[in-house]
Amino acid sequence: MEGKYPKQRLTDKEMEALNSLSDARGDIQKLFGFLKGRPLTERENILRSEIFMKRWRTSVEVILNRMIEIEKYLTQ
């Protein structure tokens, strides 16, 4: 994008939403990074754990709900 500039800057509302999405993306990466760094046998044991899967689901639901809130916030 050398020599090219956006025609319109993001509003404060859009910047806030972009930052929140960036945070949510980071949270998702942390969840996947946690598993990726483990040996295969450990990952299999973790994924078979009912406690872990419940916590994983809760964490993902929080992130997805936040993304839905951001979308609603931007379309208001």
**How many CA atoms, within 13 angstroms, populate the side-chain half-sphere of residue 32?**
6
Q: How far apart are CA 24 and CA 21, in angstroms?
A: 5
**What does pTM read for this prediction?**
0.57
Kindly provide the b/e burial profile for residues 45-74, where b requires at least 16 CB atoms within 10 angstroms of the residue's own CB. eeeeeeeeeeebeeeeeebeeebeebeeee
pLDDT for position 59: 83
Q: Which residues lie closer than 8 Å to 10 by C-beta, 6 or more apart?
A: 18
Q: Where would I find the beta strands (DSSP E) of 35-75?
A: none
Q: Which parts of the chain have pLDDT scores under 70?
A: 1, 6
pLDDT for position 6: 66
pLDDT for position 1: 54
